[in-house]
Amino acid sequence: MWIKNLRYASLVVGVSNFLLVVLGGVLVLVTAPRCGRADVFIYLFIPASAAVRLAAMYKIGIAQEATATTIVGLPAADDDGLLRHKRRVTYKRWLWWTRFALMMTVLQFLGAAYLIFDFVRYVSYGETSRDCVLGTVSNSEQWKLHTMVSFVTVACFVALFQCFAGSDVYRWRSFYMTQDKAWKAHYREVFDHGIREALCCLGRVKYLSALDEDEVHSVAQLLGDLVAYRASGTGHLELLAGLALLQRHSQTSRPPEDMLEAPEERFAQAATFHQFAEAAYTGPLLDFGRNPFIFPCAWLYRQGILTPWSRNRRPMLQGDNWLRGHAAAYLKYVKLPAEALRRGRVCQAKREAAYFIVVLHHVNTVVIAVRGTETPEDLLTDGLCRECTLSEEDLEGLLNNDHIHPDIRRQLHSSSPHYGHSGIVEAARDLFSQVDGNLGDPGSATGSTGFLSSLLGPGCECDGYKLCIVGHSLGGAIASLLGIRV
């Protein structure tokens, strides 16, 4: 019964590795009496690697079956910490054996590459090389030469085929069938471990602690739910084809009648302030896009590493390095003096946004530039995309704005509740508390004591100035919600 659940690729890999063990054993027995240990080492190493790979496949099959049985038996284990821990332990055991099999595949690939090199070198020397094994086989009976050719062929085939066959022994569908909850639980574990390992590679080792209800777990749950279409037997390419057809049918050739065209001066203003949104990428991402080959030098130059004596003249931003390099990078890109940059944050946590506040006296404008996706924390904010209800405070700028038509405000009230991307909404709320929250003395009689109020309030330095909030990608979405609120 278990043979029916095997993948065809697993059968090919298993038979090929077994054949490699047999052929390698025959060659070692034939050549060992005449050749030294160093000569027959590669012919002993490759069959030994194949034997270990077969043992790893056996352990992978056991671990995979245990993982699938646990997931099928506990499809709704997300509400129980002990059951979720049991599922995670079995999954990790399967994952460990797949990594071990991957390591053996790499060793087999290196062995096959060396075998080809040795064979080509022997032929190029006109079969006069000092290689003992090849010389012994070529000068012996015909069947020994055929065994050698078969061994080299199978070794190269196994090394290449295993690179594309994957490590799974059984077909997951043989365990899960069309159980929607089982597929969701399986892919949640897949994405949870994958995201944590990717974040670890990006320097965020703390996420390997595998907390139960952290942001990585939430993102993995969402992605697991998205790919649960596998339960119906739908493949990835079929889903993409369906989405493409849906997009084609949903396209309209005529714009809606109530859609208004933005005036040209708005486009000109957007082009003018676009550089402030672009400059918010003070990490190496912007320089990599502009200078793929010399971006480390360009980024270090923007960070002000060549002018460390000007460090004290640069503004101190929250989370900046000792050189205050992110402030230097921003100012250098927009070509502004240090006193123009009033406040900012460059090293933020998840569901928070990096931002810069700049005062432009020559155009009577205060600019808030919100950075887009650049750090692993930004990726987590992107991934937290479950719906979130917008409160009246989030829509305060629309509901209480006298410049908006009353019919639009009534429509906003009547169509509530309104929803948004949870990661972006929470990041916008945090940013509002940063730039215009009640940061001063709660008992002050002057009302709001936020940073923007201290700049744009009556009698303040920027009284009467315009406020421009810009951003790109994730920063543009956060800037939009912040603009609606203020």
Query: Would you state the pLDDT for residue 254?
Result: 54
Tens digit of pLDDT for each residue in 342-394?
999 998 777 889 999 999 999 999 999 999 999 888 988 888 888 889 988 88
Query: Would you state the pLDDT for residue 333?
Result: 92
Query: Would you state the pLDDT for residue 444?
Result: 43
Segments of the chain scoring below 70 in pLDDT: 1-2, 74-81, 125-131, 178, 210-213, 229-240, 242-243, 246-260, 437-449
Any idea how long the chain is? 486
Of 364, 370, 321, 325, residue with least CA distance to 344 = 370
Query: Would you state the pLDDT for residue 77?
Result: 47
Query: Would you state the pLDDT for residue 441?
Result: 42
**Cα–Cα distance, 126 to 143 (Å, whole number):** 21
CATH 1.20.58 in the chain, residue ranges? 1-177
Alpha helices in 180-263 (DSSP H): 180-201, 215-226, 236-250
Helix/strand/coil percentages in the chain, nearest 5: 65, 5, 30
Query: Would you state the pLDDT for residue 445?
Result: 41
**Cα–Cα distance, 286 to 42 (Å, whole number):** 48
Query: Would you state the pLDDT for residue 273?
Result: 92
For 1-177, CATH number?
1.20.58
Question: Residue 107, Cα to own-chain centre: how many angstroms?
Answer: 28
Place of tokens 């119906």: 232
Tens digit of pLDDT for each residue in 105-122?
999 999 999 888 887 877
Question: Is residue 97 within 8 Å of 166, Cβ to Cβ?
Answer: no
Query: Would you state the pLDDT for residue 439?
Result: 38
Of 461, 284, 283, 243, residue with least CA distance to 357 = 461
The CATH number, out of the four listed (1.10.10, 1.25.40, 3.30.1890, 3.40.50), of the domain defined by the range 265-438+450-485:
3.40.50
CATH 3.40.50 in the chain, residue ranges? 265-438+450-485
Of 369, 375, 459, residue with least CA distance to 198 = 375
Indicate the helix (H) or strand (E) that contains 231: none
